[in-house]
Amino acid sequence: MRANEEITAAEVRLVGVNGEAVGVVRLSEALEAARAANLDLVEVSPKAEPPVCKIMDHGKYRYEQQKKKNEAKKKQKTIEIKEIQIRPAIDKHDLEVKMKAVNRFLKSGDKVKFTMRFRGREISHQTLGLDVLNKIIEMTADMAKVESPPKLEGKQYSMTLASLKLAN
């Protein structure tokens, strides 16, 4: 955003201090009017023909724009993907402990990616791994939806669950 002497147009459409339209004037007249009001001439719409310029306090305007930007940034929620790694021969209690963490992640609105690694000869028993992942889907049915179903990639299955908060 250009201000004062940075403006290059010969003529500008001037907007006064209180928002009233002054009309199309030469740049030198607009700069004079801004100096007389002890404010800056700021190019509001540079693509217009002629460009629209407003008489305002440029520093205050930039400060307010930054404040609005920071406020908008504060309100947005970043969604993280939390990863849970499991094995096909996971014990019942170990799975319950992992599910407590999954519930906590889903309640906070994050996505959960499950990675099931097969080691050695375990790869020949892929159905056991798929059964565990399907059991997890059943356990989280009330609070999550399957975003990407279990998929075999090399020596590991992976699937992603998203919180129902995100789906609504």
Q: What pLDDT does residue 94 have?
A: 95
Using one digit for the tens of pLDDT, what is the confidence trace for 5-60? 888 888 999 998 888 888 899 989 989 888 998 999 988 888 888 899 999 998 99
Mean pLDDT of 115-134: 92
Q: Burial-class residue 38 by CB neighbours within 10 Å (0-12, 13-18, 19+).
A: exposed
Q: Give the strand order in the sheet containing 111-117.
A: 81-86, 111-117, 156-163, 144-153
Distance CA(126)–CA(119), nearest Å, equals: 11
What confidence score (pLDDT) does residue 2 get?
Answer: 83
Domains annotated for the chain, with CATH where assigned, are 4-73 (3.10.20.80), 81-167 (3.30.110.10)
Residue 156 has what pLDDT? 93
Q: What is the pLDDT of residues 56-108, one digit of tens each?
A: 998 998 899 899 999 888 887 778 899 999 999 999 999 999 999 999 999 98
Residue 72 CA to residue 88 CA, distance in Å, equals: 44
Measure CA 85 to chain center: 27
